[in-house]
Chain A
Amino acid sequence: NAGVTQTPKFRVLKTGQSMTLLCAQDMNHEYMYWYRQDPGMGLRLIHYSVGEGTTAKGEVPDGYNVSRLKKQNFLLGLESAAPSQTSVYFCASSSSDRSYNEQFFGPGTRLTVL
């Protein structure tokens, strides 16, 4: 039972390059989330999904796209990377979107955009 996994763990991009971050969970959770974490700031929600085939915008969606083609996978895409997207990206999943919505996190992807 691996929980939530993310690939890659580290990546360096040049401005304008594109990439996709992959998140996978084996807990059969309906809800999945992408966050970014920057020094001195709380986790900020980029996009989330309430089920296979659905996605929604979070607090900071600009410059990112997502897809949830399979229940267990949630992909985050950067079409044209910018230095402002240098951050640590966390994927999370939960079995509920109600008040008790404990989220389980992946190990994170550290992205640097030069």
Chain B
Amino acid sequence: GQNIDQPTEMTATEGAIVQINCTYQTSGFNGLFWYQQHAGEAPTFLSYNVLDGLEEKGRFSSFLSRSKGYSYLLLKELQMKDSASYLCAVTDSNYQLIWGAGTKLIIKP
């Protein structure tokens, strides 16, 4: 079967750095997405990786290792508004998006 694993919940301090991991086992791989979802709102796109390595976008970076079936999202200089769920999703061999259950990130002052 297809499976995406993420930690259920993480806590971090305002101004700090946090890394959210995602491991996947899917039938084929055609790219990995990270989305942010604030409570009661829709998911919004954060990043996309299809090749190994690090993609940086402001305070957010996303890393991919296809051989290990592993990705992480790195959030720097955490702000209170970063409190949200972070969803990892993989495009499989049929170009379907397979979603993880999401990681709820709690930021404390």
Contact surface of A with B, Cβ cutoff 8 Å = 40-45, 90, 97-108
Contacts and interface: CB of A to CB of B under 8 A. Distances in A.
Contacts, number: 49
Interface majority SS on A: helix, strand, loop or mixed? loop
Chain B, interface residues (CB within 8 Å), range = 20 to 34
Given A102-B45, A108-B42, A41 B50 contact: no
A99 B45 contact: no
Contacts of B101: 40-42
Interface string B4-23: 10001000000000000000
B51 to A, nearest CB: 11
A98 B102 contact: no
B30 interface: yes
A103 B44 CA distance: 8
Contacts of B43: 43, 90, 105
